[in-house]
Every structure is written in C-alpha cells, then in structure tokens.
C-alpha cells in the first residue's frame, strides 16, 4: 500500500515552485488556481521572499496548490490505467489537498476553502500575539506536562519525538526559560498559535461556509488529523476539517493508522521533507519506504516506487 502525504504550513521555502513550472500543464493549472484564490501563486512560489510566503493568507493556498499540482504531475489523468494512490493524509492545511486527492472536494472547492481558511486564521492571529515552538526530544509525558504547566496547547503531536507547543508569546518565553529535560526548543516561522483556542473565530467563518460546499465521499482511505481515523463520509471529513482549525493535529495517530493499514511506502508532496522525516523515525521498524517529492527530478523515482508497490 502506498500513501501520499501533503505537508502543512511552515514547509514552504522561497522559490520552491520554480522547477515545477517546467512540467507541462503546471503553469496553466497554477494560473487557473490563481484566479480561484485571488493570489498570484506563480509569483509567490517562485520570486516572493520568505516573509511574503510566511503570511498565512498566502502560505495556505500556496501549499495546497503546490501539492495538487505535483499530484496531477505524478498521476496524470491520461495515464494508462488511471490508477491513483492507495491512501492519502495531510498535515494541518495539507488535509485540504488530501481531501481533493481523495475526491471529497474538487481542487477548486479545496482552494476556495483554503483561501477563506487562510484569511480567517490570519485575522485571528493578529488579535493576540501568539506563536508556536517545536519541542524536539524529551519524554513525551514530561513534555506534555511542561506545556500544560505554562498554559500552552500541544497544537501538533507529531510523533517521532516532536511535539509543538502553541500559545501567547509571553507564555512561550516562559516555557523557553524552563524547557523540559533533554528537549530542544525551536521557534517556528508561523504567524500565530494555530490549532488552539486562539483560532476560534476562523472556525466560525468556516462553519458558515461548509454547508454549501459540494462534497463527495472518499474514493480511497483518507486519514483525519483529529484522531488518525480513516473517514468514510465526505461530510464528516469536511466537518473535521472545520473543527481542526482550533484543535490539535494528531499526526502521531495518523502514523499509527498507517502502520495498521499496512502502508509500505509514503510519498510526500511538495514542499516535501518534513513528513517523510517523521515517518523515517516513527515507522522505520515497519519497513516503510519514503520519498520526498521535492522537484520534478524526483518524479521518475516516485513512479518507480509506485510501480514497485502496485500489485
């Protein structure tokens, strides 16, 4: 079984889309999706600087569009057999790309929702000065206890010795002064405390939009960040997407489900690297192969991996 993984905010780097423009059809798709999102996705993915693409309202549509463009290059509609991945999962905003890959949303519907998600989360982030800090290493129970002690939220429980604390900058500073034993802290380049109570206004925005979104049921196993469950109802998954904006991402649970499903290979869509890094550490004993699809040069290797895992 082969699973596609779509990364979340913070994975983007300046110019990461540049090589993908050489793939036939990608520039045209990005031009169309730029009209859908109201953003010049080509410029943001090629010449914009790090600060510009740090903006939540820009980063989120850019990430979803990049993942979908690479997915279409990897699995072109005219490919013989027309087969796709066996399963799919996304981390945070990557769940919207995963929803489109699984057939729950059209690419356009996913991009409309991520456009509004990004704007609403950006607006929520300026109400209070908040941020996120990755905690690397340490004992999980001790890390969670320290996060709770400082009034923070474990916004991402990523497995493989990585938990992300989120909350006000004042509380994050106090947390940095008293870190958990044997843990390293790294401030993340994000605009606010995502997946916490601070994002409640954005949840309200999406709740108002979701009932009108055209939704189908997943055509392949689709994992949820809430609890790692494989979700069979498109409406259920969309509801989870809405509520997840202010709830912790349980990527550790998603990887546990990958193990249970018998996933043998994971391909991470661009901007790739973070999720396969977690999988290499967490699923190493399960013999899971991983591939970071960073540039079009990696497409042939990805197709070979797909072929090797296709019965």
Rounded to whole angstroms, how far apart are CA atoms 237 and 223?
9
Residue 309 lies in a domain: no
Residue 310 lies in a domain: no
Residue 74 lies in a domain: yes
What confidence category does residue 188 fall into, taking pLDDT thresholds of 50, 70 and 90?
confident
Judgement on whether residues 96 and 200 belong to the same structural domain of the protein? yes
Judgement on whether residues 178 and 44 belong to the same structural domain of the protein? no
In the predicted structure, residue 269 carries a pLDDT above the cut 60: yes
In the predicted structure, residue 94 carries a pLDDT above the cut 60: yes
Question: Could you give phi then psi for residue 104, rounded to 5 degrees?
Answer: -70, -40
Rounded to whole angstroms, how far apart are CA atoms 165 and 134?
6
Residue 135 lies in a domain: yes
Judgement on whether residues 175 and 66 belong to the same structural domain of the protein? no
pLDDT recorded at residue 197: 96
Judgement on whether residues 38 and 180 belong to the same structural domain of the protein? no
Domain coverage including residue 89 = 2-125+196-304
Residue 311 lies in a domain: no
Judgement on whether residues 235 and 100 belong to the same structural domain of the protein? yes
Judgement on whether residues 71 and 19 belong to the same structural domain of the protein? yes
The residue with greater pLDDT, 142 or 311, is: 142
Rounded to whole angstroms, how far apart are CA atoms 42 and 267?
23
Residues 95-128 pLDDT 10s: 999 999 999 999 999 999 999 999 999 999 999 9
Rounded to whole angstroms, how far apart are CA atoms 100 and 242?
15
pLDDT recorded at residue 311: 60
Give me the active site residues, please.
92, 195
Judgement on whether residues 156 and 86 belong to the same structural domain of the protein? no
Q: Tell me the pLDDT of the chain averaged across its residues.
A: 95
CA distances from 161 to 155, 196, 224, 278 (A): 14, 20, 20, 9
Structural domains counted in the chain? 2
238 closest CA partner among 104, 89, 102: 104
Judgement on whether residues 141 and 221 belong to the same structural domain of the protein? no
The residue among 187, 215, 230 that closes a domain is 187
Judgement on whether residues 137 and 172 belong to the same structural domain of the protein? yes
Residue 83 lies in a domain: yes
In the predicted structure, residue 82 carries a pLDDT above the cut 70: no
Residues 50-76 pLDDT 10s: 999 999 999 999 999 999 999 999 998
Mean of pLDDT values over 273-288: 93
Mean of pLDDT values over 6-25: 95
Judgement on whether residues 156 and 239 belong to the same structural domain of the protein? no
pLDDT recorded at residue 80: 41
In the predicted structure, residue 223 carries a pLDDT above the cut 80: yes
Residues 197-220 pLDDT 10s: 999 999 999 999 999 999 999 999
Dihedral sign from CA coordinates of 228, 182, 266, 42: positive
CA distances from 180 to 93, 146, 152 (A): 28, 6, 13
Judgement on whether residues 162 and 210 belong to the same structural domain of the protein? no
131 closest CA partner among 162, 161, 163, 164: 164
Residue 6 lies in a domain: yes
Beta bridge partners of 183: 137
Burial class (CB in 10 A: 0-12, 13-18, 19+), 277: middle
Residue 153 lies in a domain: yes
Dihedral Cα 52, 55, 57, 62, nearest 10 deg: 60
Judgement on whether residues 22 and 162 belong to the same structural domain of the protein? no
The residue with greater pLDDT, 80 or 282, is: 282
In the predicted structure, residue 241 carries a pLDDT above the cut 50: yes
CATH number of residue 154's parent domain: 3.30.70.250
Rounded to whole angstroms, how far apart are CA atoms 201 and 165?
20
The residue among 166, 187, 208 that closes a domain is 187
pLDDT recorded at residue 160: 85
The residue among 187, 212, 230 that closes a domain is 187
């Amino acid at each position: 079984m082969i699973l596609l993984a779509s990364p979340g905010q913070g994975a983007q780097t300046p110019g990461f889309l540049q090589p993908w423009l050489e793939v036939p059809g990608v520039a045209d798709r990005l031009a169309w999706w730029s009209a859908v999102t109201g953003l010049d996705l080509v410029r943001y993915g090629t010449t914009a600087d790090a600060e510009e693409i740090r903006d939540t309202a820009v980063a989120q549509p850019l990430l979803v569009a990049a993942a979908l463009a690479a997915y279409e290059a990897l699995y072109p509609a005219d490919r013989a057999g027309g087969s796709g991945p066996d399963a799919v999962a996304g981390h945070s905003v990557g769940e919207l790309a995963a929803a489109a890959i699984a057939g729950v949303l059209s690419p356009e519907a996913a991009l409309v929702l991520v456009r509004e998600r990004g704007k609403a989360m950006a607006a929520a982030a300026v109400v209070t000065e908040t941020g996120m800090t990755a905690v690397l290493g340490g004992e999980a129970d001790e890390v969670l206890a320290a996060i709770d002690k400082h009034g923070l939220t474990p916004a991402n429980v990523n497995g493989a010795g990585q938990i992300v604390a989120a909350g006000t900058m004042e509380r994050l500073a106090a947390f940095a002064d008293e870190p958990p034993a044997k843990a390293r802290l790294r401030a993340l380049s994000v605009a606010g405390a995502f997946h916490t109570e601070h994002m409640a206004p954005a949840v309200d925005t999406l709740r108002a939009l979701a009932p009108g979104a055209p939704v189908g049921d997943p055509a392949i196993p689709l994992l949820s960040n809430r609890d790692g469950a494989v979700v069979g109802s498109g409406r259920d998954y969309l509801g989870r997407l809405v509520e997840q904006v202010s709830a912790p991402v349980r990527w550790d649970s998603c990887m546990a489900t990958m193990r249970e499903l018998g996933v043998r290979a994971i391909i991470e869509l661009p901007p790739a690297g973070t999720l396969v890094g977690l999988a290499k550490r967490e699923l190493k004993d399960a013999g899971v192969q991983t591939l970071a699809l960073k540039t079009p040069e990696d497409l042939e290797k990805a197709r070979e991996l797909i072929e090797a895992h296709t019965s």
